[in-house]
Structures are given as C-alpha cells and as structure tokens.
Structure 1
Amino acid sequence: MALPLLPKLLLVVAAAAVAVAVTAHLGAVFLHVAPSNTLSRQHDETLDDYIYPEFEQNWKLFAPNPLQQNVAVHARAEIRDEDGSLRRTGWVDLTAMDAESIRGNPFPSHTNQNELRRAWDFFTGSHDDDNLPNGSRGEMSESYLKRIVMLRLGPRLGADRVTKVQLRSARSTVEPPPWSKESVNTETRYRVLPWWPVVSADIPEAAR
C-alpha cells in the first residue's frame, strides 16, 4: 500500500538526517585517525571534543609489542549514613563485574567490553605519574570516571549518600607460556588515585 505524501516526506527527511549524521561521524573519526593535515589541524579542538572519550581510537592490538598485562579497575566510596556519620566501603572490582557480564554471553555489549577500559586509558593518557591532569582533557577524564563509578555503585549504595569516590588500578604482567624462557614479575602493582568529591553533576540519571 502506497504511503500518503506527508509520511513519505517525513521518511525522506529522516533518512537524509541519518545519512548526514553518519557521514559527519565517519568524517570526524577519519580526520582523527588520519595523518595530520590542514583540515584536521584547523578543526583539531572541535574534533577532540567530539571524539573523546567515547570514540577514541588506538592500535595496541597491532603494535610491535601488544599489551601483555592484565589491568583491573577498582573503586570504593565514602558514604554518609542516616545518623550523619561517614564510612568507607571496601574496594569493588569493576572490571570483574564487566567480565562476569561478558563471560558466556555470545553477544556482549560494547559498554561491558570497552567503556571502563577506555575510560581508564583516557585517564592515564591525560595525567602524569602523580595523577595530576595535563589540561582540560585530564579534568574531563576524571569526570567521566566518576560518572562510571556512580553508575555502577550509586544504585547499590544510594547515590545521594555518596560523598566521595576513589579508584585504583591493579596491574599484573601475564605469565609467559611454558615453552618460553622469558622470566617476568607477575606481582600485582597498584596505582591509587586520590579521593574525588561527588557532586550532583557526577550522578548519571540512571543512578539517581
């Protein structure tokens, strides 16, 4: 059955809008990963604002020395009890939560596979060894991590009761295969971040 003229026009407009959005997205990603050129340099700040942190690209899988470490991200919170006293929770392994959601799932979500991992990479790439941010991207990465923590822990603890959050990474080198003569230190090493205060803007709608 043929559609009336108005629905046809709406479908055409919707298809055109989707096509424009997809083209703009692909163009931005291409300029981000392509070698530096006149166009990308001219719009560098705009591209960074769009790409980071959700659409950042990296090539670690194809590097001469692929990542050979297991990195887990843990978080804990300071919460205010009903009597006004403050207490701190134990560490929660956020990476293990993602792994549990992925394990045995033939169609794991992109969020479970990449959100936390890329957020941590974003943080380490925009901070120095003393956990101090290198400009506005560093501050953005802190806000992004806080929102992820609140999204995971807020519903459990009561988002309005959380006053601070703290993160740490647990990094350990993957043990070499039995046939390898390589000797590595597999001891877990921690990178502990400072406590970050939580404000209303750090609480995603889904965690309220």
Structure 2
Amino acid sequence: MDSYGNEGARRDEAPSGDGGARGGAGAPGEAGARSGTDARDDGGTQGGIASLSLPYQVVAAVALALIGVLGCVHLGMVFLHVAPSNTVTKQHGKAIDEWIYPEFEQNWKLFAPNPLQQNIAVQARAEIAGSDGGRRTTEWIDLSAEDGEDIRGNLLPSHVHQNELRRGWDFYANSHTDDNRPNGLRGQLSERYVRRIVMLRLDGRDLGGRVERIQLRAVTRSVAAPAWSKEKTDTKPYYRVLPWWTVTSADLPMGIRDDAMGGTEAGK
C-alpha cells in the first residue's frame, strides 16, 4: 500500500513536474521574445543627423555640403598657388592671390639654410586730431616689444603674438621696393594688412583724439657674435621709415568702423 501510495504520489507529482518543465521551457521563449522586442527598439533608434526632424536634416545636409565645397575650393587654391605656372594660374592668378594672401601664404623658409641673424622691431606712431581741432604726433610705440612681453613667460603663447606682426612686416618688405613702392597686387594687399594690424593695436589706447594718420618704421639690429667667436658684427640699429598713411574705414576693426568720418576715436 505504501509502495502504491508512493507510486501514486510520484504519478500525482509528474504533471506538476511536466508543467514546471514546460514552464521552464516557456520562460526562455518569453525572454527571447522580449529580447527580440528590445533589439527591434534599439535598431529603430537612430543617432546623428538621422535622429533630427526633416527640416533640420535638410539644414544639416546643406551646411555639411557647403563646408565640403569650401574645403575643396581652399585646397584647390593652395594647390594652384604652390604649383608651377600653368594655364589656370595665368588666367586666374589675381583671384588665387586674393584668396591666399596674406593669411594662407605658403613659403619654404622653414628649410632656409641661413636662419635669421637679426632682430627686427616694428614700431608705429600716429597723428591725432584733438577735439579742439589741433593735431599732434605720438611717440614711437614699439609693437614688437609688446608682443615680446606677451610671449615671455607664457607656456602657451598665442599665434597672434608670435607671428601676426612679424609675418605682416615680412609680407610688406618682400612685396615692396627699397623706396616703398608696391610690387603689384601683393604689395597693395600687404599695405592694407599692415594698416589693419596697427589699428587693431592702437584700438583701446587713450591717445587723446582721433587717429588720422599712421606711420611705421622697422628697427633692425644684427645679433652680436658669441664671446668665443672672432667674428665682428655691427650691432648698430638701422631704420626703415615708411611714409605716412591716411586711415580709412577699411583699416579699422569691424566694431568701430565709421564710414562717414573715415577714422576712429581712440580710447572708445
């Protein structure tokens, strides 16, 4: 009886066991279904431009296309600038120069066999028109020395303080004759570039009036030979003084242009 009862108990437990087995088998199926649903949800979620609404997708696509076109145009201009003379550069040389100079000029000075052995300081002075109608001329302002002070002790000096004025002056000197006559378009561009640099440096100074004219000069001193060298070096300063330039609205920083007066009130 006990054995029969035990056997009956086992038979009675069997359906429950089968059901448990079926239930166990069903759980992975349900998990798989949930996993599939999650996978579909993840697959339906798109990132990047595709996640934007249609109008924003159009704007983003147009912006990327314009950036790509601009990049291709710039690379093409640089290539034509450094390439040997050809039909394209002969026909469109002016447009290429206007695109390249002065910000994107290319040269081989990095590989020059004779590094510079001179210190060149660029100085400027201004003719000021006072509120009383009188005119006066400022002292020479050493712009290169001010850049040197900004660089000295600075672990991460800006490219502007290191190279803007120096490269601007090199651009001017290499595109003008000794009597300060421009050599074509490059010379004219260099004059405008240098004038804008000087007016940016004068902006914000309390000069006591309106800047009407500016004048530049370069002071060149050869670097003295080391003590152990028998070479004799002339370290006397030599000056190159440029003619006075009348300030126009094109020479002023964008925020203070005054088309009517063609000048700027210093210290604004």
Q: How does 1:142-157 map to 2 (within 5 A)?
A: 142-157=191-206
Letter in 2 for 1:7: Y
Q: What's the offset of the Cα at 1:121?
A: 1.3
**Kept after mapping to 1: 8 A contact 2:124/2:215:** yes
CA contact (8 A) 1:127 1:138 kept: yes
Partner of 1:23: 72
Which of 182, 200, 208 is the aligned partner of 2:249? Answer: 200
Structure 1 position 79, deviation (Å): 0.3
What is the identity percentage for the equivalent residue pairs of Structure 1 and Structure 2?
A: 58
Q: 1:26 to 1:102 in 2, by over 3 A?
A: farther
Aligned residues: 208
Q: Following TM superposition, by how much is the alpha carbon of 1:89 offset from its aligned partner in structure 2, in angstroms?
A: 0.6
Query: In angstroms, what is the RMSD of aligned CA positions?
Result: 2.2
Aligned partners of 1:159 and 1:203 also within 8 Å: no
Q: Is the 8 A contact 1:29 1:51 kept in 2?
A: yes
Q: Unpaired segments of 5 or more residues in structure 1? A: none
How far apart are the structure 2 equivalents of 1:32 and 1:159?
44
Identify the range of structure 1 (56-65 vs 163-172) with the bigger mean alpha-carbon deviation. Answer: 56-65
Q: Which residue of 1 aligns with 2:82?
A: 33
CA 1:134 to 1:105, structure 2 compared with 1: closer, same or farther past 3 Å?
Answer: same
Deviation at 1:185, TM superposition (A): 1.2
Task: State which drifts further: 23-32 or 87-96.
Answer: 23-32
In 1, distance between residues paired with 2:215 and 2:66?
42
In structure 1, how many angstroms separate the alpha carbons of the residues matched to 2:83 and 2:226? 36
- 1:188 matches 2:255: no
- For the residue of structure 2 that corresponds to 1:58, the secondary structure is coil
- The answer to whether the 8 A contact 2:131-2:209 is kept is no
Alignment deviations for residues 86-111 of structure 1 (CA, whole Å, 9 cap, x no partner): 11111111112222222333333222
Q: Secondary structure at the match of 2:204?
A: helix
- The letter of the residue matching 1:192 is V
1:96 — aligned with what?
Answer: 145
For the 8 Å contact 1:150–1:202, the answer to whether it is kept is yes
* The one of 221, 224, 243 aligned to 1:175: 224
Instruction: Compute the displacement of 1:159 (Å).
Output: 9.6
Please give the per-residue CA displacement for 1:18-76, whole angstroms capped at 9, x wherever unaligned. Answer: 12212211221122123323333332111111111111122223112222211110000
Distance 1:90 1:182, change over 3 A: same
Letter paired with 2:144: T
* CA apart distance, 1:177: 3.3
Q: Which has the higher helix share?
A: 2
Residues 1:38 and 1:98: Cα distance change in structure 2 (over 3 Å): same
**Partner residue, 1:60:** 109
- Residues 159 and 126 from structure 1, CA distance in 2 versus in 1: closer, same or farther, beyond 3 angstroms? farther
Which structure 2 residues correspond to residues 33-52 of structure 1 after superposition, within 5 A? 33-52=82-101
**Aligned pair partner of 2:120 in 71, 75, 88:** 71
- Matched to 1:71, the amino acid is I
Report what 1:4 is aligned to.
Answer: 53
SS in 1 for 2:155: coil
Structure ranking higher on relative contact order (CA contacts 8 Å, 6+ apart): 1
Structure number with bigger Rg = 2
Name the CA shift for 1:160/1:20 in 2 (closer, same or farther; >3 Å): farther
Amino acid at match of 2:81: H
